[in-house]
Structure 1
Amino acid sequence: MTAGATWADALIKAAVIAFACAWMYSPSLRGDWLWDDDTSITKNAVVQNPNYDFWKIWVAPEGADYFPLTATGFWLQWQLFAPAPNTPPEQMPAAVERLKMGYHAVNIVLHTVAALLLWRLMNVMKLPGGWLAGMLFAVHPIGVESVSWVSELKNTLCQPLFLLAAIHFVLFDDAEREMGDWDSRRVWGNYALAVFCFLLAMLAKTSVVMFPVVILLYAWWKRGRIGPLDIVHSAPFFLVSLLLGLMTILYQHGRAVGQERMPIEGILPRVAIAGMAIPFYLWKAVWPFDLLPIYPQWQVLPPKWWQFLPWPLMAAVFAWLCTRLQPAGRPCWARNVLFALGFFVLMLLPILGFITISYMRITWVCDHFLYLPMISLIMLGTAAATVWAARADATEQRMTISAAAMLIVLLAFSTFRYAHVWFNEDAQWTHTLASNPDAWQAHNRLGAWKAGLGNTKGAHEHFKNASRLRPDLGETHNNLGTTHLQQGHVDEAIAAFAKAAEVTPHVPLFRVNLLNALLESGRMERVDATFLAMLEKEDPAALQFLVALGQQAMALENAAVQAAAANRPEEAERVAAVARSRFALAAAKYKLVLDRQPRSAVGWNNLAVMLMKLGRREEAVAAFEQALAIAPELLDARMGLEAARQELAATGTQQAAPGGPRPAQPPEMQPEMQPPSSPTLGSPPGFGK
C-alpha cells in the first residue's frame, strides 16, 4: 500500500470517528447550562472580563479548584462566543444560544481529539486495534457526562493533553532504550514535550496526578523491572504531581469543602467506599447502561462487613494474575491485564474517597471520574480482540468484525439517547429522580429550575424533599424558606431560614434572608434585636442585609413610578410609602453601623444614598463628603456627591428621582444577594470533579 493510500485510509477512519461524535452529541450542541455552569461561566466575572486577569486565574483564583488552564479556556471561549455589548435586545436570545452552542462545540471537538489521540497512543505502543480503541472511546456512553456538561471542560481538555504526554513519553522511551543510533535532540525533545503536556494536563485538572506511577508501571510492563533510569526519568513528573496535587488538596479543603460536614467519618467507611467503587467503575466501563448523573450513596456509617469483601477478592485476582506471569520479553497476557488494571486503579485512586473532595457531599461515584481511567480497559479489550481475530479463521473473523460493528452501533445509540438527558436540568434531574428518588441534590436543583420558571408550588415540593434528605445543610432549608415566603407562609419561612442559619453558621446569606423574612412579617423588635446582635459579633451579614434592604427600597420606588405612569395613583402611593419606610430603616441601621465603624467609607456612602432618597440632601452631602475624606478614590461617593449638590442647587426639587445614586456594595457582599421579597436560592459551594 502506498503512503498516499495509507494516509487516505487514516483520514477516512478519522472522519468516521469525528462524524460519530458530531451525531451522538448533536442533542448537547443545543443544550442548556447545567449544574455548576453558573459559577464556572455565567456568573463568573473573571471569565466575562474582556481583559484577561492573570492574577485571578493563575495566582489567586477565587474558585473551589486550582485549574487555571481550564479557567483560561472558559475565558477564551467567552471572548469568542459571547454576545457583543451592543447586541439589540431582540437579538439577544439567539446570541445567547450561540454562546452556549460554542461552549458545547468545544467539548465535542476535544472529545473527538482525545479519541484520535488514543488511536495514536495505541500505535506508538505497538498495540493492535488502535482505531477500534479510539472509536469505542468516542462512542462510550460514560463520556456523555464529561462532554455534555460545559463545566467538565476540565475533563475534555485534560484528556488530550494527558494522551499527548503519554505518546511523547512512549516515543522517548522507545528511542532512548531501544535505538542504537538516535538523534538526541529529537529524543529529548519528546521527553520535554511529555513533561510539558503533563504539566498542562495537571493545570487543566489534577485527576492525572498518578501519571508518574503509571510511568513506572509502564517500565515494568515493557521490561519486567523498574530500573534506576526509569526512576530518574519519572522524577520531573513526580515533582509536578506533588506540587499541583498539594495545591488541589488545599483548595478542596479550604474552599470546596470548607466548614461543611461531609457524610463520612473515619477511615473504615472510606476503605469500604473505595473497595466498592473500584468494581462499580469496572462494571460501568464494561456495561455502560443505566447511567445516572447522581448515583445512590451507599450507607457506610457504620460500614457492613460485606462492604469490605471487594478488597480480598481483588487481592486474590491480583495474586492469581501474578502466578501467570512470564519472564520479560515473552508474550504474557497476565502482564497485559495487570498493566491495564493497574492503570485503571491508579487513575481512580485520587477520587476513591481516601482524600475528602466536595463531590462526596452528593455521591461516592460518578461517570466523569471514569472518563480517563476507562481508556486502559478499552485498550486491553481492543488489543486482545484484534490479536484473537488475527489468529481466527475467515468465518470467525467475519463474526468478530460483525460483533465489533454491532457493539459500536449499540454504544453510539446509547450515547445519543443519554445525551438527551443532559440537555437541560429538567431532563437531567427528572431522569435522576426516576431511579434515585433520594438524591437530595437532584431535588434541590430541580426545585431551583422550577422556581426559575415561576412554578413555586412544584419547587416547594422538591425543596421539602431536599431538606428532609439533608437536614444538616443550610442551603436546603434556605431554599425551602424561599418558597414558603413566596407563597405567603411567613412563619414557616422564618423557621426555615433560622434552621439554615443554625446548621450552616458560616454562610451569612442565610442570616440575611432570616432578617428579610422577619422584616416582611413586620416583626420589627426581632429585626432590631437580631441586627444589633450581628453588629456586636461584627457579622458580615449585617452590611449585606442593609445593601439588600436598599436594593429592595429602590425596586419599590421604581415600581411606584411605574404605577403612577400607568394611572394607578393609590397603588403608587402605597408602594412609595413602603419604599420610604425601607429607606428610613436602612438609614437608621447605617448610623448604628457607623457608630461602631466610623472609618467605613462604604457605610458613609450608603447612608448618604438612603438620605438622598428620603430628600435629606444636606445630610446626604455631608455623608458623601465624609466617605470621600476616608476614601478619596471611591467613585460611587464622588458621583453621588455631585448629584446631591446639583439637586441642592436646583429649585423646587423636593424628591430624588429614582435611579439616582446607588449604594456601594461592601467587600463582603455576595453577588447573588437578592431583595427580601425574593431571597436567593442557595447554591453548592463547589464540586470536586
Structure 2
Amino acid sequence: MSTPAERGTISGQMRSILPLLLAIGATLVLYVPQIPMAFVDWDLISYARVLGSTDYVQTIVTLFKDVRGEIVPGYYAPLSSISLMLDNVFTGEPSAWITVFVNLLFHCLVGILVYLLAREAGADDVTASLSALIFLLHPVQASSILWFAQRKGVMAAAFYLGSYILFLKYAKTSSSAHYAASLLLFIAALFAKPTVVVFPIALVFTLVFLHEQLDRQSIGRRVLQIAPFFLIALLTGLVTMNSEGISYGETSPDVPLLERPFVAAAAIWFYVQKAFFPTGISPLYATWEVDFFSVEWWLPLGSLVTLAVMVFLLRKRLSAALLWSAANFLIPLFPVCGLLKFGFLRLSYTADHFMYLSMVGFAHFFAFAMRMLYGRLRPSVSYVMIACIAAYLAFLAVQTNSAAHMWKDSVTLWSHNLRMNPDNWTAHNFLGHALIRAGQPQESIQHFRKTLELKQEFLVRKRQSCMDLERSGNVQALQFEKQKIAPVQAGMYIAHHNLGNGFLLSGMHKEAAEQFRIALQLKPEYVNSRVNLGIASMEMGDAGTAIALLSEALQSAPNNFEAHYNIGRAYRAAGQKENAKKHFIRAHQLRPDYPLPPDS
C-alpha cells in the first residue's frame, strides 16, 4: 500500500496533468463526430497503391527503395505511406474512418509531446497545458487530421518532438542514450515527412535562447554535437529535391529568385494572421500574383525585415522563452513558404497543413506570453485575463468545429472552398468529380465548364503578359510566365475530357463527343478520351464509328476494360454476335465482379 505522502504525490501529479487530459478529451469530442466515412478525393489516386495494398512485406520493401517518388508522387516518405497501408490491418480493406481516427490519435500524441517540450523548456504545468490546448484545438490543424494524406504531417511531428525532447534531456544530462534516441527519432521523422530537415536549425536556436537552462557546456561544443543532425538533414534534402523533380517535373513552378522573398514574407504574415485569428479556413487558398510596382507587395517584406532588425537589437531585453517560441514558429515554415521549389506551389503558395509543426511554436509563444502577463497583473485584473483566454479558447473551438465539418465529404469540402474562393479552378474540378461520384452528373457540368473557362482566361492573360514582357526585354520574368503557361496548356485536354464525361453521364452525347474530339486533338494518345468518344458515338447510334474508335483504343491499351465491354456492345448493335461475345468474355476476365450480358 502507498503511504499518505506517496498518495499525496500521486494526487498532485494527477492534478498537474488534468488540464492536459481535458485538452485531449475536448479534441476527441470536437473531431470524432466529424470523421468522414469515405476518403476525400484529394491525393486519393496518388495513394491508391498504398491504401489498397495487401502484400505488406513487398510494399514496405518497395516503398523504402522508392527514392524517386514513383509509388506515391512527391517526396520520399516511406514510413507515413507504410503507416497508411497498415491501417488495413484493422478492417482488411481501406477504411477512411479508421485512417482518419489514427491521424487523430497521432494528433493527441503530438499534443502530449507539446506539453512535455514546454516543460523541458522551463514552463510550469499550467503554461505547458495551455500550450497543448492551443495546439490541439486550433482550427488550422483540421486539414492535417481529417485529410487522410496528411498522416505524414502528424506522424513526422510526433517523431520530431520526441527527438526534440530527448535532445534537451541530453543537453541537461549528457546521457548518450538520450542522444542516440534523439538521432534515431529524427531519422524516423525524415522518413515520415522530409520537410522536418529544419530540425537542426531549431536545435541551434534552442541552444542560443535556452542555454542558461542547459548545463554549462559551451554553445560551440553543443553545435558540434548537432553536426550529425545537419549531415543527415543535408542528405535527406538532396533525396527530396530529386524525388520532387521527378514526380512533378515542369508542373512545379520555379518562382524567380527575385520574387521568392516577397512571396515568403507574404506567406509568413499570412500564417501569423491565421495563427492569431483563424477565420476563413479553406482547403485551398488563392494563388498570389507578385507586383513589384504595388506598395501592397513591399509592405510584408519591409515590415518583416524591420521587425527582424528590431528583435535583434532588443534581443537582450526580450524574453528568451518568447524568442525560442517564435523561432519554433518560423523555422518549420522555411521549406514551404515559397523560398524553395516544391509541387504544391502549382496549387497555392499557402496551406493550413504547412502550419502543423509551426503551431507548436505559436502555442508555446501564446502560453509563455500569457504566463508572463499574468504574473505582472493585479489579482483583480488577472481574472479578466483568464476570462479573455477562456473566450479565445471557445472561439478556437467554434472555428475548429466549422473547419472540421467541411471535411465531411468531397462535395462539402469543395463547395466550401468555392464559397471562399469562387475562381479556383482546382476546386471546381474536384467538385465536378465529387458530384459525379455522388450521382449528380448534370450538376457536375457547370463546374467542369467553369474549370475550362478559368483555364482559358488564364492562358489568354498570361500570353498577353508574355507579349508585353518580350517587348520590354525582361527575360527572367518572361521565362517565369512561360513556366506558368506550360503545365496549364499541357493539361487542357483533361479539362475538355472531364467536361465531356459530365455530358456523357448526363445523356448529352453530342456535346460529349465534341469535347472528346477536342481532347484528342490536344492529346491524340489519350486513350480514355478515345474510349469515351466511342461510347458517345455508339449512344448516338453510330456503331461503326464506335467500333473503329474502340479498336484503336485497344491497340494502345489491350487490357482496357471499358474498351472491351463497350466494343462488345457496339458489335452486338451491329449484329456481330461472335465478336461481341469475345470482347464481353475478355471484359469479364479483366473485371470478374462485372457480370456478363445475358446473351454472352
TM-score, scaled to structure 1: 0.71
Q: Helix, strand or coil: the match of 2:559?
A: helix
Aligned partner of 1:119 in structure 2 is: 115
Is 1:438 aligned to 2:430, yes or no?
Answer: no
Aligned partner of 2:256 in structure 1 is: 266
For the residues of structure 2 that align with 1:518 and 1:460, how far apart are their CA atoms? 20
For the residues of structure 2 that align with 1:268 and 1:520, how far apart are their CA atoms? 54
> Alpha-carbon deviation of 1:276?
0.9
8 Å Cα contact 1:216/1:226 also seen in 2:
no
8 Å Cα contact 2:432/2:445 also seen in 1:
yes
Aligned partner of 2:191 in structure 1 is: 203
Structure 2 residue corresponding to 1:102, chosen from 98, 104, 127: 98
Aligned partner of 1:306 in structure 2 is: 296
> Alpha-carbon deviation of 1:485?
2.9
For the residues of structure 2 that align with 1:51 and 1:579, how far apart are their CA atoms? 50
Aligned partner of 1:589 in structure 2 is: none
8 Å Cα contact 1:115/1:138 also seen in 2:
yes
8 Å Cα contact 2:110/2:157 also seen in 1:
yes
Query: What is the letter of the counterpart of residue 327 of structure 2?
Result: G
Aligned partner of 2:80 in structure 1 is: 70
> Alpha-carbon deviation of 1:4?
0.8
Written as runs of structure 1 = structure 2, the 5 A alignment for 1:279-428 is 279-300=269-290, 304=294, 306-326=296-316, 332-333=317-318, 335-428=320-413
For the residues of structure 2 that align with 1:196 and 1:506, how far apart are their CA atoms? 47
Query: What is the letter of the counterpart of residue 290 of structure 1?
Result: G
Aligned partner of 2:234 in structure 1 is: 242
Is 1:496 aligned to 2:481, yes or no?
Answer: no
> Alpha-carbon deviation of 1:362?
1.7
For the residues of structure 1 that align with 2:437 and 2:431, how far apart are their CA atoms? 10
- Considering only aligned residues, what root-mean-square deviation do their CA atoms show, in Å? 3.3
Q: Helix, strand or coil: the match of 1:209?
A: helix
Is 1:193 aligned to 2:181, yes or no?
Answer: yes
8 Å Cα contact 1:27/1:416 also seen in 2:
no
> Alpha-carbon deviation of 1:75?
1.3
For the residues of structure 2 that align with 1:505 and 1:54, how far apart are their CA atoms? 37
Is 1:547 aligned to 2:580, yes or no?
Answer: no
Is 1:153 aligned to 2:151, yes or no?
Answer: yes
The C-alpha deviation readout for 1:259-283, integer Å capped at 9, x for no partner, is 4364x65333433322211100111
The C-alpha deviation readout for 1:373-429, integer Å capped at 9, x for no partner, is 122122112112112213333212322222222222221222122211111111111
Structure 1 residue corresponding to 2:55, chosen from 28, 31, 49: 49
For the residues of structure 2 that align with 1:279 and 1:227, how far apart are their CA atoms? 31
> Alpha-carbon deviation of 1:45?
6.3
The C-alpha deviation readout for 1:529-577, integer Å capped at 9, x for no partner, is 9988xxxxxxxx76444433x64444675xx8xxxxxxxxxxxxx8734
The C-alpha deviation readout for 1:303-345, integer Å capped at 9, x for no partner, is 745313322211111111122122xxxxx42554443333322
> Alpha-carbon deviation of 1:292?
0.8
The C-alpha deviation readout for 1:59-104, integer Å capped at 9, x for no partner, is 1251113211111111111122235xxxxxxxxxxxx8xx332112
For the residues of structure 1 that align with 2:441 and 2:310, how far apart are their CA atoms? 59
Query: What is the letter of the counterpart of residue 190 of structure 1?
Result: H
For the residues of structure 1 that align with 2:537 and 2:245, how far apart are their CA atoms? 34
8 Å Cα contact 1:52/1:75 also seen in 2:
no
8 Å Cα contact 1:253/1:356 also seen in 2:
no
For the residues of structure 1 that align with 2:256 and 2:566, how far apart are their CA atoms? 50
Structure 2 residue corresponding to 1:214, chosen from 202, 205, 209: 202
For the residues of structure 2 that align with 1:213 and 1:420, how far apart are their CA atoms? 36
The C-alpha deviation readout for 1:605-661, integer Å capped at 9, x for no partner, is xxxxx9x828xxxxxxxxxxxxxxxxxxxxxxxxxxxxxxxxxxxxxxxxxxx6468
Aligned partner of 1:80 in structure 2 is: 90
Structure with a larger share of its residues in helix:
2
Count matched residues: 540
Whichever of the two has the greater Rg, that structure is 1
The structure-2 alpha-carbon separation of the partners of 1:335 and 1:312, relative to structure 1 and needing over 3 Å to count, comes to farther
The structure-2 alpha-carbon separation of the partners of 1:274 and 1:663, relative to structure 1 and needing over 3 Å to count, comes to same
> Alpha-carbon deviation of 1:189?
0.9
For the residues of structure 2 that align with 1:309 and 1:249, how far apart are their CA atoms? 31
For the residues of structure 2 that align with 1:509 and 1:552, how far apart are their CA atoms? 9
For the residues of structure 2 that align with 1:227 and 1:504, how far apart are their CA atoms? 60
For the residues of structure 2 that align with 1:198 and 1:511, how far apart are their CA atoms? 49
> Alpha-carbon deviation of 1:518?
6.6
Structure 1 residue corresponding to 2:44, chosen from 33, 38, 42: 38
The structure-2 alpha-carbon separation of the partners of 1:46 and 1:459, relative to structure 1 and needing over 3 Å to count, comes to closer
The structure-2 alpha-carbon separation of the partners of 1:249 and 1:397, relative to structure 1 and needing over 3 Å to count, comes to same
Q: Helix, strand or coil: the match of 2:45?
A: helix
Is 1:7 aligned to 2:13, yes or no?
Answer: yes
8 Å Cα contact 2:428/2:450 also seen in 1:
yes
The structure-2 alpha-carbon separation of the partners of 1:145 and 1:467, relative to structure 1 and needing over 3 Å to count, comes to same
The structure-2 alpha-carbon separation of the partners of 1:372 and 1:452, relative to structure 1 and needing over 3 Å to count, comes to same
For the residues of structure 2 that align with 1:383 and 1:498, how far apart are their CA atoms? 63
8 Å Cα contact 1:271/1:308 also seen in 2:
no
Is 1:233 aligned to 2:214, yes or no?
Answer: no
Unaligned runs of 5+ in 1: 84-95, 177-186, 327-331, 533-540, 561-573, 585-609, 615-657, 666-689
8 Å Cα contact 1:274/1:354 also seen in 2:
yes
The structure-2 alpha-carbon separation of the partners of 1:377 and 1:40, relative to structure 1 and needing over 3 Å to count, comes to same
> Alpha-carbon deviation of 1:454?
2.4
The C-alpha deviation readout for 1:485-541, integer Å capped at 9, x for no partner, is 334555543443354456678966556656766777749689969988xxxxxxxx7
Query: What is the letter of the counterpart of residue 117 of structure 2?
Result: L
The C-alpha deviation readout for 1:579-628, integer Å capped at 9, x for no partner, is 848x85xxxxxxxxxxxxxxxxxxxxxxxxx9x828xxxxxxxxxxxxxx
The C-alpha deviation readout for 1:8-66, integer Å capped at 9, x for no partner, is 21442332022111111023234431133523555646634355522322112511132
The structure-2 alpha-carbon separation of the partners of 1:529 and 1:288, relative to structure 1 and needing over 3 Å to count, comes to closer
Structure 1 residue corresponding to 2:453, chosen from 457, 468, 475: 468
Aligned partner of 2:475 in structure 1 is: none
> Alpha-carbon deviation of 1:430?
1.2
Structure 2 residue corresponding to 1:139, chosen from 134, 137, 140: 137
Q: Helix, strand or coil: the match of 1:450?
A: helix
8 Å Cα contact 1:221/1:335 also seen in 2:
yes
8 Å Cα contact 1:119/1:134 also seen in 2:
yes
Q: Helix, strand or coil: the match of 1:24?
A: helix
8 Å Cα contact 2:550/2:567 also seen in 1:
no
Q: Helix, strand or coil: the match of 1:25?
A: helix
Q: Helix, strand or coil: the match of 1:309?
A: helix
Q: Using the aligned pairs only, state the percent identity.
A: 22
The structure-2 alpha-carbon separation of the partners of 1:150 and 1:389, relative to structure 1 and needing over 3 Å to count, comes to same
For the residues of structure 1 that align with 2:341 and 2:365, how far apart are their CA atoms? 31
Aligned partner of 2:168 in structure 1 is: 170
For the residues of structure 2 that align with 1:518 and 1:352, how far apart are their CA atoms? 49
Query: What is the letter of the counterpart of residue 149 of structure 2?
Result: S
> Alpha-carbon deviation of 1:359?
1.6
For the residues of structure 2 that align with 1:29 and 1:422, how far apart are their CA atoms? 8
